[in-house]
Amino acid sequence: MKKFNILKGIPAYLQMMNVDTDMIIPKQFLKTIKRTGLGKNLFFEMRYDDNGKKIDKFILNQEPYNNSPILITGKNFGCGSSREHAPWALLDFGIKCVISPSFADIFYNNCFKNGMLPIILEEKKIEEIIEYSKRKENIEINLENQKILFGNKVIEFEIDPYKKKCLLNGLDDIAISLSKSEEISLYEDKLKNNKPWIN
């Protein structure tokens, strides 16, 4: 998992509430267990018409938002089924941070496990950032300092210290387990000595 610290870019604003995981990546694209190749099908039913042609009105089909690393959305983003393919698709498209007033719990936690930063902010603060999206101006997200910087303004955000540490160091669940490999080996050796019948 890549380390996350400072992210700069023009945010894309998806003006929708209750965006569920099936809207993010529809069920027909869940056959793969690879984390790559899903970006082209992100928001498939909103991005493409029945003939597979891109819908120009959709925000992520427009310049410069089709290259935005930051997505701003409405309340309850990532609701619905608990598919890990949703953050995979966002990341493969190039989106590394999602800003919303609220997230579905499972999606929120899946973001951290895959190196994506979900930020919860009050709607009034989000409205300030939306203005920069409309003006096609860059904002900066500093995870270490827990700040969003745009123009001469600064918005601070909250994040669980453990989740922050994992993102800053690029640690997913497997990497965390491997970092404890020495302790695990010592425990297994002790178990073999104390309870040889287990093996």
CATH code for position 42: 3.20.19.10
Name the token pair of 8: 């700069």
Long-range contacts, 55-58 (Cβ 8 Å, 24+): none
CA distances from 18 to 14, 100, 102 (A): 11, 11, 10
Name residues of the chain where pLDDT drops below 70.
173-181, 184-189, 191, 198-199
178: number of Cβ within 10 Å:
11
pLDDT value of residue 184: 67
Q: What is the pLDDT of residue 190?
A: 74
Q: What is the pTM of this model?
A: 0.87
Does residue 17 lie in a domain region? yes
- pLDDT value, residue 193: 75
Domain range for 111:
6-198
Q: How much is the pLDDT for 89?
A: 97
In a domain? residue 150: yes
Rounded Cα distance, 148 and 28, in Å = 36
Q: What is the pLDDT, as a whole number, of residue 199?
A: 61
Q: What is the pLDDT of residue 81?
A: 87
The pLDDT of residue 30 is: 86
Look at residue 185 in the predicted model and tell me its pLDDT.
Answer: 64
Is residue 189, in this structure, part of any structural domain at all? yes
How many whole angstroms separate alpha carbon 114 and alpha carbon 171?
A: 9
pLDDT at residue 196 in the model: 72
Task: Evaluate whether residue 50 is within a structural domain.
Answer: yes
Residue 1: inside a domain: no
Structural domain contains residue 23: yes
Provide the number of structural domains found in the chain: 1
